[in-house]
Amino acid sequence: MARKDATKKPNTKKSSVSVIANAKNEANVATRSLKTQSQLGEPFLAQITRPISATYSQYVKDLKGSSRLRLIDTFLAFLVAVGVVQFGFCVLGGSFPFNAFLSGFGATVGQFVLTVALRLQSAESNKQLFKGLLPERAFGEYIFASLLLHFVLIHFIN
């Protein structure tokens, strides 16, 4: 008898009623905190737009005097637009040569990732992170990686 009691595991399952009750209590606390924030006089829209405007002002501050970063950001926006157009064409027009779609979309996404890496290495705020890396070397590595990416994707089309 003692042996059965020693091997018996304690019941660690919570009842579904207690789980639902805990979830309702957490939701009530979250609702109360939202009401408290909105009762402070700050509208809900201002709570959303304040972080966005702070992020945008920091972005503009980082771009001061750097035409290189502006050019890179413009190219990134172009790559996003090309990716959206390619995906939209695949959804609306069909993806008959699917390898061609995958190669084109992969080239867009891959070039975006490589360009973001170049932007990170070119930003003045990241100079401490990339101490020994010259901008010419970063650009050379970017060109080499881009050529390698496109070489692989062209051969993927078959």
Distance separating alpha carbons of residues 141 and 121, to the nearest angstrom = 11
| Residues near 123 by beta carbon (within 8 Å), at least 6 away in sequence | 62, 66, 69
* 75-106: pLDDT as tens digits: 999 999 999 999 999 999 887 888 888 999 99
In this structure, the chain runs to a length of: 158
Contact 105, 86 (CB under 8 A): yes
pLDDT in tens, the chain (158 residues): 555 555 555 555 555 555 565 556 665 655 555 555 555 567 888 888 999 999 999 888 888 878 899 999 999 999 999 999 999 999 998 878 888 889 999 999 999 999 999 999 988 888 888 888 888 999 999 999 999 999 999 998 87
State residue 108's pLDDT score: 97
Contact 124, 62 (CB under 8 A): yes
87: enclosing H helix or E strand: helix 67-93
State residue 71's pLDDT score: 94
Q: Which of 106, 97, 113 is nearest to 152 (CA)?
A: 106
φ, ψ at 154 (rounded to 5°): -65, -40
State residue 3's pLDDT score: 56
